[in-house]
Amino acid sequence: MLLLLSSPSSLMQSFPSLKLLCAVQGQGPIFASKEQSTNGCTNQKPKDYILQDSSILHPEKALRRKLVISVLVSAGVLPTLSSYAKTKNINPYNEKRVLQQNRQIQKQNNAPDDFPNFIREGFEVKVIAPDNYVTRDSGLIYLDFEVGKGDCPKDGQQVTFHYVGYNESGRRIDSTYLQGSPAKIRMGNKALVPGFEEGIRDMRPGGKRRIIIPPDLGPPVGPSTFFSSKQFEVFDVELLSIKDCERRTIGFYSDVVCN
């Protein structure tokens, strides 16, 4: 039963035998404790009354309202969090925008034509290159500009080559052309970065190739090395010659001679 309370005196006149809920002047309606009287009236248990004109509800009703509000808030927040987790994947629009940014940076770094693009998402990297690039099972990617002639280098042989090295943004990090002399190294003695040695192992003298080395086949990373983070590296390589080598010993002196 819903009771509209105007004043304790008028209500007492209408219901003389009813124990009433009393109001303290200036503080709004409150529930009085048992055996306590105010203005000559005695309070009944709170659950028997609802005060409509004061916008104060019975504690059980108020608790229900709080629970409903809490459920509504939760229903509004949880879908937002779930949708936020789904934004991890790169959509085509974002990928297109990243590609445009990468190409602008590569242009500023004077990167060569058809330079590959690298789109990062956390620890994953997507390599975007023309269809004529070849990808091996090891993760190495390469493109032959010129195939060359002759035999491929073998372990123990010396290879002489020029190269230009780039980072992911197309910035040149090293060049034997600028140094004025080609590099010389013997195959099979682990003197080269694994991806670089794999990339030139099936080249022929006179051949020119672009090699894209993934981090797993790249150089070691750390304070003692030139590289501070695991990134893809790009090398344009020109294989000049291959020479056979043999060990020569004179007295206590021993060296390797390549002809």
Q: Mean pLDDT for each 10-residue chunk of the chain (259 residues)?
A: 45 45 38 42 44 47 54 45 46 78 92 90 85 94 96 95 94 94 92 93 97 89 62 95 91 86
* pLDDT for residue 254: 86
| The predicted structure's pLDDT at residue 145 | 96
Q: How far apart are CA 245 and CA 156, in angstroms?
A: 7
What domains are there in the chain, each with its CATH number? 131-247 (3.10.50.40)
Structure confidence at residue 17 (pLDDT): 44
Per-residue pLDDT at 83:
39
User: Residues 6 or more apart from 174 whose CB is under 8 A from it?
Assistant: 163, 164, 165
Long-range contacts at 103-106 (CB < 8 A, ≥ 24 apart): 105/169, 105/170, 106/169, 106/170
pLDDT at 238: 98
What was the pLDDT predicted at 171? 94
**In the structure encoding, which two tokens stand for residue 33, read together?**
């404790």
